[in-house]
Amino acid sequence: MKILKQLEQRRKWAEDERILLDQVRRIADTVIAPNAARYDREEAFPQASVDAVKSLGLNAIFVPEAYGGAPMSYRLYLAVVQTIAEACASTGVIYATNFHGMKPLIDFGTEEQKKRLLPRVAAGALASLAITEAAGGSDATAMTMRFTPDGDDIVVDGNKLFITSGDVADLLLVFGKWSEIEDPKQAISSLIFEKDTPGFEVVRVEEKLGHRASSTATLAFNQCRVPRANLLGKPGEGLALLLASLNKSRPSIAAHALGIATAAFKDMVAYMNTRAVGGHHVIDFQANQFLIADLAAELAMTEAWLDYVASLIDDGATDFGLEASIAKLRASDLAMRMTTEAVQMHGGYGYIRDYRVERLMRDAKITQIWEGTNQVHRQLIGRSFIER
């Protein structure tokens, strides 16, 4: 573990960032990690862990000061996501989804919207990002959710599928099509939706392979009336807004996947150093040393790439979609490979619930699917090289 510790110690943080990271590490070790297996087994919302996140005011680090926040760098935010996800992937994605859902409001909201809504986010409100529908997640333009203007309101009608925290979120960023615009891409619009709006219904909460403590909900919006003041941007600006916000949520998902990969790597190395087989520890076999060498190298390189993407964003870059795709693709593939190998290095014990790697492998799979499947990311990266 020496090289990973060394890399961690050499990462440069400002004093206040280091203090916050130490505090996050403390709640991760004392509250979030010790409760993770139980919440997973019971498929229960990780209330104690979410409360611990709230107690440190971690939503505030991505909300501007003018609206009740205490902003820190995007790089620091990613390190927080990674640390929480290492302790509990479900809590990690609940926290990250607050950012994914509300960052577009921060970046594109009007002054009035931000003054009205962001203090709640800074204080710890839960958020959702509602894009996916049965018509297809990879093709957002296929969505059928309708936004129909009616006086000072917008009537929201349709369903959303697989929405993280959809049943518990206070505020949801919802994407739909503006009824007065015909073109399916040009029609996409977005608005902030409050959970108590009449007509809003949680239809079902999924039972899942992994991330069992994070709820994934099907939502129905039955002629819900939302004040027009909650429209984000203008009618039809949703697609541009969606793409811009996905660019910032994809590195966040990469950090989350790296948290899972880091947990698996630590458990794997610790087990290999203690489990003796035929008079040797599992780590003494050269084939296994080669395996962990490859995985350690991949982990270090992926972290360095993510740090690079974060620094681009902190330096104000606007065109970083491909870099974000590479981070998401690489980190999630690594999480899946790392957790699979960690189970393998545990032998039969890896398949048993007593060992954390069993959960980590289940938790890892979705990272290759959400925020754009890895096929979609490969397509985005690959087609950027077409010259004609």
Ligand X SMILES: Cc1cc2nc3c(=O)[nH]c(=O)nc-3n(C[C@H](O)[C@H](O)[C@H](O)COP(=O)(O)OP(=O)(O)OC[C@H]3O[C@@H](n4cnc5c(N)ncnc54)[C@H](O)[C@@H]3O)c2cc1C
Q: Residue 59 CB, nearest distance to ligand X (Å)?
A: 17
Closer CB to ligand X, residue 93 or residue 334? 93
Number of residues in contact with ligand X, rule: CB under 6 A? 22
Token pair recorded at residue 158: 């349709």
Strand partners, 204: 218
Answer yes or no whether residue 373 interacts with ligand X by CB under 6 A.
yes
Select the residue interacting with ligand X from 208, 256, 346, 359 (CB under 6 A).
208
Q: Transcribe 205-258 into DSSP letters.
A: E---SS-TTS-EEEEEEEEEEEEGGGEESSTT-HHHHHHHHHHHHHHHHHHHHH
Residues 172 and 127: their CA atoms lie apart, in Å, by 6
Q: Check 86, 298, 341, 371 and give the catalytic one.
A: 371
Q: How many CB atoms lie within 10 A of CB 301?
A: 12
Is position 8 annotated as part of the catalytic site? Answer: no
Residue nearest to ligand X (CB): 137
Q: Residue 73 CB, nearest distance to ligand X (Å)?
A: 25
Spell out, one character per residue from 91 to 110, where the chain touches ligand X: x when CB under 6 A holds, - when not: ------x-------------
Cα–Cα distance list, 283 to 172, 209, 265 (Å): 47, 30, 13
Select the residue interacting with ligand X from 162, 178, 221, 320 (CB under 6 A).
162
Spell out, one character per residue from 122 to 161, where the chain touches ligand X: x when CB under 6 A holds, - when not: ------xxxxx---xxx-----------------------
Geometric angle at alpha carbon 121, from 207 and 162, rounded to 5°? 20
Residue numbers 8-37 binding ligand X by CB under 6 A: none
Cα–Cα distance list, 255 to 25, 229, 305, 332, 340 (Å): 15, 34, 11, 9, 19
Closer CB to ligand X, residue 76 or residue 253? 253
Closer CB to ligand X, residue 94 or residue 224? 94
Q: Are 56 and 82 contacting, i.e. CB atoms less than 8 angstroms apart?
A: no
Residue numbers 212-271 binding ligand X by CB under 6 A: 216
Binding part of the chain for ligand X, among 25-33, 299-307, 308-316, 364-372 by CB under 6 A, reads 364-372
Q: Residue 274 CB, nearest distance to ligand X (Å)?
A: 33
Residues 236 and 190: their CA atoms lie apart, in Å, by 8
Residues 168 and 310: their CA atoms lie apart, in Å, by 29
Q: Residue 206 CB, nearest distance to ligand X (Å)?
A: 7
Q: Are 36 and 90 contacting, i.e. CB atoms less than 8 angstroms apart?
A: yes
Closer CB to ligand X, residue 129 or residue 264? 129
Residues 191 and 231: their CA atoms lie apart, in Å, by 4
Q: What are phi and psi of 129, to 5 degrees?
A: -120, 110
Token pair recorded at residue 4: 């990973």
Closer CB to ligand X, residue 171 or residue 268? 171
> Which residues are marked as active site?
371
* Residues making contact with ligand X (CB under 6 A): 97, 128-132, 136-138, 162-164, 208, 211, 216, 366, 369-370, 373, 375-376, 379
